[in-house]
């Protein structure tokens, strides 16, 4: 079979004659993709998005984004005769009177949760491996934008069925918007078309949810993929892998098949959840009215950290000259989100400033090899996690018989102490793991072979680590430290003379200093050698541009 | 870094040729597979390096065994897919039990189909396709300095040619022309909603009724007016809405009340006794934090708890805040009875209900001043 | 080489297989999930209809009272520092508290929980006790079987009242919720229709009172119809996940969804390590 089948050959010729697609394919069919399970995490989000588009389109065929009042007369008996909005009635109709409607609704909702969860784990992987470093900062920023948009997309979608639970979320959204100084009431009246809840918000959210945000998401996701494609994926350190190459399987056929299989796995897991785990049972909540609420009213998980922040806050409010600033709303609504999103967006640039590292990086760091970064990341996870946990404190209190206020008071302390403890623990673990690597490289691994020595002593024979494992460990790259020391005449470099410069130099030293250096044989060795290595790093590449 | 030659516009095909067999190279098949493997390794960009094995073919016998397994999985997908269609036809919806059956049938078959297809393809990749350890060169993202220089010069040259730099008037009027057009979409958004005005300061409790009598309190969900003498069990609570607005969500979002019955000795100084009737007190149900209905009432402690963010109010003491993020008490509605003994609102709330907003100010202090 | 070489190669190799640690994690998660499924509250309810009647053996009730209740409530039910007076609480309160096992209370927690009945607590004993307490100062009486018959109620109407008055504490399907200082609104699943009715008219513990003149007996029966209908209804979309809303959904998305997908990713990308010689 030395010629492709006629059908394929003819089609290819037809297309190439018109598009010149051959040139693109020539370059890209055998594009190499590195293999690591963590590189597929972002695909969870990508495929969830595709599933969201497909199932979402299905749902729009029956959903009526209207707040007009109707009296329900569908299949769900306990609500027959109840007045409700058309939106809620049509969502019930999809659930009980359209075959497969409930399944698709549930798949849509589960896919939404996995979309955000997938983005989160993908982002954590990128963060902990330093894959946001030059040249990928722009893609990182696109990612932060995608995450923010996904939260908005989730919020608008959650509100559409107009059930009692989603209405509670909408009410909180309104309360938070009202608290915005100066323009809050205006924004609220514009969004809701007057006083809350008005008659417009569902149809407006519908447009935002199915057209505006998905459109932007689609564009940004495309940009995200194109940049990834052009810049080529990062790879883990290992045998034969260098900053100047990428080792792995070609796009066609291997990576294509793997990606296809993973899409199907994602779809399968979401379908399994949609079949066997009930999500958002709107028929149990009842129609929305601003007069009622259920115990345990919660947002979807990705909004949980904001909910937790609102619950933690003491009752601070400022009144002056006839105006009100509701700190007990504004601080929790803006500060945690601000810290997390701004922190994420700025991190690559802050790190560059601290390390003075302007080089391109294509080898992923193992998290242990940049202990401060990893500790900062874990600290951020602790911050987010505590807020998230506190967002469910009523359920924790009810189901584990803990006093409600105790959980809140615990949270008020934990939000400050938790991240600090997490930082210290993560840092120590990283250093410990580095030591273990150094030990493996110098002494080898336990072979499982027990030997009795002539004197009767038993020892376990150590053998050198396998080549690929050793290469993986030796892939540790030193973090550059900006030059701050005094020169021969006792004068510090210009950049380190100001207070900011001195701070930067100090941070750089703390951030970059290698606590567990390996030498060629993997022996941990003294600081003298270590200085030399720094000198080597400092003298290479663009490093000297800094001074 | 030297791939792009600006002086050769034809070179839009980058010199970087990745992983393709040379044009006269063999197509993968049968006996010449090894050779084909070598062909893409021979490419200038994708090659074998020391210690990396390149393309490793699977053992044919093992691949044949895997093929049977994969075929089985694909067959399962076929059967499950067919079962999905059959389930769609066979299981109707229309009651909750039927919906449950349909959901399990459709979702179960779909999940099995997807899962076995995914597993089949994974096995295909892992057990039949070769193992690849191809190496592709990376090139710095930056263009070389000649290119940068060329682009810079072309850009400046073009800017000069266009006259944009030289013709000041052209530049300024163009900017001027753009300004109102840029603003137009924002202006168009103005009709999204009315301006707030003072609407947040009033509720329908203050609106006049048709017959000019005070507005009655009615039970949420039934619409019955409440005779004070009937609401006589201490520790009682009712969710109450204004008569005539039972279905008006905009009105309810501000005017819903909780009505509480106390023993007279339980009421503390924070509660305005003039606004109560025989131990019956009415508070706004809308939480002063972000507006959830705050209605978890403990008759033993007189705590009103908001389920959203756990602001807690002491109902016996003017609903003052005793825990949580709310900064202000729930406003109390002045109530009394009409000639027939039904509970009515004597006036509107004297402060805005619900969450704080910028224009609200310290309405409580203002109300106190007005009274004094 | 001198010495005895004991090879534990095969075990070690398996233990060191790249998939091994993930398999351990998967196993742990599976056990956790299975454990939850077993421990999770299930929807079925004991529908022990407690016959209410006029059996008024007040004397018998009094002796039961002295034996089991008087230590806290006082010899004549006048109350003490530990417990309130029972004069005027009525037979309904006694029936609710004793038939649900809340009374006699075990210890002084923030709230007396529902618990299994003591041996002496028989329907007749409850009836006697209730008759005695009723004789002290009246109060709400035990509803008749017809008054609480869910079949006679209108669940749709009851649902509206349920949402207006009950779900803020008891949750949208009566799964319960948290209150202040360790108190909680209990789940309604184990409550019989009679107990639900009695709770509304007597306001046990922290619960407020919904008397018959503001929420009529028919309306109460509608609510009972809704509660019992919904709690016995299947979850058409699979497991109800405790029916407590998005908290468990989020947990499932992470613990089941993300974990399964990570396992799939590992399977797709795992390299087979060739056996070392």
pLDDT > 60? residue B45: no
DSSP A275-309: HHB----HHHH-B--TT---TT----GGGHHHHHH
pLDDT of the residue at A453: 87
Predicted local distance difference test score (pLDDT) of residue A484: 67
Helix (H, G, I), strand (E, B) or coil at B241: strand
Which residue among C252, C265, C266 sits closest to A273, beta carbon to beta carbon?
C252
Is the CB of residue B256 less than 8 Å from the CB of residue B241? yes
Domains of chain A and CATH, by start: 36-282+302-330 (1.20.810.10)
Residues with Cβ within 8 Å of B311's Cβ and at least 6 positions away in sequence, in order, are A315, B287, B288, B289, B294, B305, B321, B323, B324, B325, B326
pLDDT digit string, tens, across residues A138-193: 999 999 999 999 999 999 999 999 999 999 999 999 999 999 999 999 999 999 99
Q: Which of A3-17, A195-209, C72-86, C200-214 has the highest mean pLDDT?
A: A195-209
Distance CA C95, CA C239 (A): 34
Name the burial class of residue C12, with classes exposed (0-12), middle (13-18) and buried (19+) by CB atoms within 10 angstroms of its CB.
middle
Top pLDDT among B80 and C19 is at B80
Please provide the average confidence, as pLDDT, over all residues in chain B: 86
Mean pLDDT within A283-288: 95
For C13, name the nearest residue in chain A, comparing CA atoms only. A448
pLDDT band per the 50, 70, 90 thresholds, residue C16: low
Give per-residue pLDDT as tens, A25-55. Answer: 888 899 999 999 999 999 999 999 999 999 9
Q: What pLDDT does C26 receive?
A: 61
Looking at chain B, which subunits does it touch, using at least 3 CB pairs closer than 8 Å as the criterion? A, C
Instruction: Kindly give the pairing relationship between strand B257-261 and strand B237-242.
Output: antiparallel
Cross-chain residue pair A404–C262, CB shorter than 8 Å: no
Stated as kind and residue range, the H or E segment containing A248 is: strand A245-250
Question: Residues 87-116, chain C: which have Cβ within 8 Å of A?
Answer: 110
C-alpha to C-alpha distance for C223 and C147, rounded to whole angstroms: 12
Helix, strand, coil % (nearest 5) of chain C? 50, 5, 45
DSSP secondary structure of A119-170? HHHHHHHHHHTTTTSTT-HHHHHHHHHHHHHHHHHHHHHHHTT-BHHHHHHH
Ranked by mean pLDDT, the top range of A64-73, A438-447, A479-488, A496-505 is A64-73
* Minimal C-alpha gap between A312 and chain B (Å): 7
* Residue C187 CA neighbour count, 13 Å, CB half: 17
Nearest Cα to Cα of residue C5 among A459, A462, A451, A463: A451
DSSP state of C227: H
Q: What percent of chain A has pLDDT over 70?
A: 93
> Mean per-residue pLDDT for B314-322?
94
* pLDDT higher than threshold 70 for residue C209: yes
Mean pLDDT of A456-465: 87
Residue among A235, A229, A269 nearest A118 (CA): A269
Cα–Cα nearest to B214, from B322, B332, B339 = B339
pLDDT tens, B346-356? 999 999 999 99
* Structural fold of domain B200-371: Rieske Iron-sulfur Protein (2.102.10)
> pLDDT band at residue A21, thresholds of 50, 70 and 90?
confident
Contact A175 B291 (CB under 8 A): yes
Q: pLDDT digit string (tens) for B4-28?
A: 333 333 333 333 334 444 333 333 3
Contact B284, B277 (CB under 8 A): no
For an interface test with A, the pick among C261, C268, C270 (most A C-beta atoms closer than 10 Å) comes out as C261
B31-B34-B36-B41 Cα dihedral, nearest 10 degrees: 180
Mean pLDDT confidence for A97-114: 96
* SS3 assignment, position B72: helix
H or E stretch including A69?
strand A69-71
Q: Do B125 and A254 touch (CB under 8 A)?
A: yes
Rounded CA-CA distance C44/C190 in Å is: 8
Mean pLDDT, chain C, integer: 81
Say what the pLDDT of residue C23 is. Answer: 60
Measured between alpha carbons, how far is B255 from B286 in angstroms, rounded to an integer? Answer: 8
CA dist A154 and A217 (Å) reads 12
- pLDDT of B2 reads 38
pLDDT of B131 > 70? The answer is yes
User: Residue C142 has what pLDDT?
Assistant: 93
Read off the pLDDT band of C104 (50, 70, 90): confident
Query: Residue A433 has which token pair?
Result: 């793991």
Q: Which of A206, A214, A209, A205 is nearest to A50 (CA)?
A: A214
Separation in Å, CA A427 to CA A415, A417, C35 = 19, 16, 34
Residues of B in contact with C238 (CB under 8 A): 103-104, 107
Lowest mean pLDDT among A120-129, A279-288, A471-480: A471-480
Q: Which residue has the higher pLDDT, A328 or C83?
A: A328
**What does the pLDDT read at residue B278?**
92
A-chain residues near C238 (CB < 8 A) = 106, 274-278
- Candidates A265, A175, B279; CA nearest to C259 is A265
Provide, as residue numbers in chain C, all residues whose Cβ is less than 8 Å from the Cβ of A454. Answer: 2-3
Higher per-residue confidence, A399 vs B36: A399
B31-56 mean pLDDT: 51
At residue A296 the predicted structure's pLDDT band, cuts being 50, 70 and 90, is confident
Task: Of A300-304, A503-507, C82-86, give the range with the top mean pLDDT.
Answer: A300-304
Q: Which contacts qualify for A205-213: CB closer than 8 Å, 24 or more apart? A: A205/A65, A205/A156, A205/A159, A205/A160, A206/A63, A206/A65, A206/A156, A206/A160, A208/A152, A208/A156, A209/A153, A209/A156, A209/A157, A209/A160, A210/A56, A210/A60, A213/A149, A213/A152, A213/A153, A213/A156
- Report yes or no: A296 and A394 within 8 Å, Cβ to Cβ: yes
Domain boundaries, chain B: 15-192, 200-371
Q: Tell me what pLDDT residue C107 has.
A: 74
Contact A451 C261 (CB under 8 A): no
Is the predicted pLDDT of residue C10 greater than 60, yes or no? no
Q: How confident is the model at residue A122 (pLDDT cuts 50, 70, 90)?
A: very high
pLDDT tens track for B186-230: 899 999 999 998 999 999 998 888 888 899 999 998 899 999 999
Quick one: three-class SS letters along C143-163?
A: CCCCCCCHHHCCHHHHHHHHH
Q: What is the pLDDT of residue A469?
A: 87
Sorted by where each starts, the structural domains of chain C and their CATH numbers stand as: 45-141 (1.10.760.10), 143-233 (1.10.760.10)
Contact pairs from chain A to chain C, CB under 8 Å: 225
**pLDDT of B165 strictly over 60:** yes
Q: Name which of A113, A296, A466 is nearest C245 (Cβ-Cβ).
A: A296
Residues of A in contact with B13 (CB under 8 A): 23
- The position carrying tokens 């009526």 is A64
Question: Comparing A265-279, A374-388, B277-291, C174-188, which segment has the lowest mean pLDDT?
Answer: C174-188
Does A532 score more than 50 pLDDT? no
| SS3 state at B307 | coil
Out of A272, A310, A321, the one facing B111 most closely (by C-beta) is A272
Cα(C231)–Cα(C17) distance, rounded to whole angstroms?
47
Assign A466 a pLDDT band (cuts: 50, 70, 90): confident
pLDDT surpassing 60 at residue B42: no
Tokens found for residue B274 = 């003039």
Q: Is the pLDDT of residue B284 over 70?
A: yes
Q: How many CB pairs under 8 A join B and C?
A: 104
Alpha helices in A391-466 (DSSP H): 393-400, 404-443
> Are B33 and B57 spatial neighbours (Cβ–Cβ below 8 Å)?
yes
Residue B72, Cβ neighbours under 10 Å: how many?
Answer: 13
Map residue A70 onto helix, strand or coil: strand
B236 and C211 within 8 Å at the Cβ level: the answer is yes
DSSP C118: P
């Amino acid at each position: 079979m030395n010629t492709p089948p006629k059908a394929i050959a003819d089609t290819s010729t037809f297309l190439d004659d018109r598009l010149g697609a051959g040139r693109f394919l020539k370059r890209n069919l055998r594009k190499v993709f590195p293999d690591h399970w963590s590189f597929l995490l972002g695909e969870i989000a990508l495929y969830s998005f595709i599933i969201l588009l497909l199932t979402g389109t299905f749902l729009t065929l029956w959903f009526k984004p209207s707040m007009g009042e109707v009296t329900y007369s569908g299949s769900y008996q306990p609500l027959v005769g109840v007045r409700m909005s058309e939106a809620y009635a049509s969502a019930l109709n999809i659930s009980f009177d359209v075959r497969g409607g409930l399944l698709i609704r549930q798949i849509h909702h589960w896919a939404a949760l996995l979309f955000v969860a997938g983005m989160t784990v993908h982002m954590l992987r990128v963060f902990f491996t330093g894959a946001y470093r030059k040249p990928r900062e722009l893609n990182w920023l696109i990612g932060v934008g995608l995450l923010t948009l996904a939260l908005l997309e989730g919020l608008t979608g959650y509100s559409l069925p107009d059930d009692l639970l989603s209405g509670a979320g909408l009410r909180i959204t309104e309360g938070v918007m009202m608290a915005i100084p100066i323009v809050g009431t205006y924004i609220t009246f514009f969004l809701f078309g007057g006083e809350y809840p008005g008659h417009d918000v569902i149809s407006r959210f519908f447009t935002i949810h199915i057209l505006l945000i998905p459109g932007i998401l689609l564009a940004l996701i495309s940009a995200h993929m194109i940049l990834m494609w052009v810049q080529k994926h990062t790879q883990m350190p290992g045998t034969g892998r260098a900053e100047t190459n990428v080792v792995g399987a070609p796009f066609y056929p291997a990576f294509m098949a793997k990606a296809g299989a993973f899409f199907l796995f994602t779809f399968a897991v979401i379908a399994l959840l949609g079949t066997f785990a009930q999500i958002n049972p709107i028929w149990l909540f009842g129609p929305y009215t601003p007069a009622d609420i259920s115990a345990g009213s919660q947002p979807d998980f990705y909004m949980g950290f904001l909910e937790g922040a609102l619950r933690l806050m003491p009752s601070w409010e400022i009144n002056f000259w006839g105006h009100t600033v509701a700190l007990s709303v504004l601080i929790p609504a803006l500060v945690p989100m601000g810290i997390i999103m701004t922190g994420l967006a700025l991190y690559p640039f802050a790190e560059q400033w601290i390390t003075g590292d302007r080089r391109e990086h294509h080898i992923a760091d193992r998290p242990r090899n940049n202990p401060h970064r990893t500790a900062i990341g874990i600290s951020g996870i602790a911050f987010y996690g505590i807020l998230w946990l506190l967002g469910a404190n009523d359920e924790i209190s009810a189901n584990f018989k803990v006093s409600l206020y105790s959980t809140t008071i615990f949270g008020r302390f934990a939000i400050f102490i938790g991240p600090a403890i997490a930082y210290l623990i993560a840092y120590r673990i990283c250093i410990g793991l580095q030591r273990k690597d150094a030990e493996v490289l110098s002494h080898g691994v336990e072979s499982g072979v027990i030997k009795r020595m002539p004197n009767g002593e038993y020892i376990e024979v150590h053998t050198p680590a396998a080549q690929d494992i050793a290469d993986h460990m030796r892939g540790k790259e030193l973090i550059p430290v900006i030059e701050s020391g005094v020169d021969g005449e006792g004068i510090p470099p210009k950049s380190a003379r100001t207070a900011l410069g001195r701070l930067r130099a100090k941070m750089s030293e703390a951030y970059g200093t290698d606590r567990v250096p390996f030498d060629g044989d993997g022996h941990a060795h003294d600081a003298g050698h270590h200085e030399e290595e720094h000198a080597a790093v400092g003298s290479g590449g663009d490093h000297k541009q800094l001074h | 870094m030297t791939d792009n030659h600006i002086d050769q516009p034809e070179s839009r095909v980058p010199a970087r040729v990745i992983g393709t067999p040379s044009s006269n190279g063999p197509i993968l098949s049968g006996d010449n597979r090894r050779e084909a493997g070598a062909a893409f390794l021979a490419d200038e960009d994708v090659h074998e390096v020391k210690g990396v094995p390149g393309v490793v073919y699977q053992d044919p016998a093992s691949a044949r065994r895997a093929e049977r397994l994969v075929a089985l999985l694909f067959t399962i997908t076929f059967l499950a897919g067919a079962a999905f269609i059959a389930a769609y036809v066979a299981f109707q919806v229309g009651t909750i039990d039927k919906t449950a059956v349909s959901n399990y049938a459709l979702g179960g078959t779909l999940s099995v189909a997807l899962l076995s297809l995914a597993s089949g393809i994974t096995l295909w990749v892992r057990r039949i396709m070769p193992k690849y350890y191809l190496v592709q060169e990376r090139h710095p993202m930056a263009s070389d300095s000649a290119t940068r220089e060329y682009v810079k010069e072309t850009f400046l040259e073009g800017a000069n040619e266009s006259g944009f730099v030289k013709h000041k008037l052209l530049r300024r009027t163009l900017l001027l022309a753009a300004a109102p057009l840029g603003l137009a979409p924002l202006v168009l958004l103005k009709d999204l909603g009315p301006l707030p005005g003072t609407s947040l300061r009033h509720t329908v409790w203050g609106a006049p009724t048709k017959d000019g009598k005070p507005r009655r309190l009615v039970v949420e969900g039934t619409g019955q007016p409440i005779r004070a003498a009937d609401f006589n069990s201490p520790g009682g609570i009712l969710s109450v809405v204004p008569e005539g607005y039972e279905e008006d969500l905009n009105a309810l979002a501000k005017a819903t009340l909780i009505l509480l019955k106390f023993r007279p000795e339980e009421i503390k100084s924070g509660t305005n006794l003039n606004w109560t009737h025989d131990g019956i007190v009415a508070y706004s149900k809308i939480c002063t934090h972000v507006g959830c209905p705050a209605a978890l009432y403990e008759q033993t402690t007189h705590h009103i708890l908001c389920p959203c963010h756990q602001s807690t109010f002491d109902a016996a003491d003017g609903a003052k805040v005793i825990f949580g993020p709310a900064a202000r008490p729930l406003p109390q509605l002045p109530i009394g009875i009409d000639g027939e003994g039904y509970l009515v609102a004597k006036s509107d709330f004297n402060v805005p209900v619900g969450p704080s907003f910028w224009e609200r100010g310290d309405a409580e202090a203002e109300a106190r001043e007005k009274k004094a | 080489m001198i010495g005895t070489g004991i090879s534990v190669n095969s075990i070690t190799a398996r233990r060191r297989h790249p998939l091994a640690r993930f398999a351990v994690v998967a196993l742990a998660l599976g056990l956790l999930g299975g454990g939850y499924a077993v421990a999770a509250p299930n929807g079925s309810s004991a529908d022990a209809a407690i016959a209410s009647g006029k059996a008024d053996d007040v004397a018998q009730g009094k002796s039961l009272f002295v034996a089991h209740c008087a230590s806290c409530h006082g010899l004549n039910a006048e109350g003490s520092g530990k417990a309130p007076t029972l004069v005027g609480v009525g037979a309904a309160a006694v029936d609710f508290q004793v038939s649900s096992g809340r009374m006699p209370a075990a210890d002084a927690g923030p709230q007396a929980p529902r618990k299994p009945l003591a041996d002496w607590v028989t329907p007749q004993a409850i009836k006697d006790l209730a008759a005695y307490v009723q004789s002290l100062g009246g109060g709400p009486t035990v509803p008749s079987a017809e008054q609480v018959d869910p079949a006679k109620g209108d669940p749709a109407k009851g649902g509206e009242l349920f949402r207006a008055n009950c779900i803020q504490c008891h949750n949208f399907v009566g799964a319960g919720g948290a209150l202040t200082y360790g108190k909680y609104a209990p789940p309604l699943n184990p409550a019989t229709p009679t107990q639900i009715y009695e709770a509304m008219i007597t306001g046990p513990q922290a619960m407020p009172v919904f008397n018959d003149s503001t929420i009529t007996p028919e309306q109460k029966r509608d609510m009972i119809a809704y509660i019992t209908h919904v709690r016995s209804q299947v979850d058409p979309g699979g497991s109800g996940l405790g029916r407590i809303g998005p908290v468990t959904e989020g947990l499932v998305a992470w613990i089941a969804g993300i974990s399964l997908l990570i396992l799939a990713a590992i399977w797709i990308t795992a390299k087979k390590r060739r056996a070392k010689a």
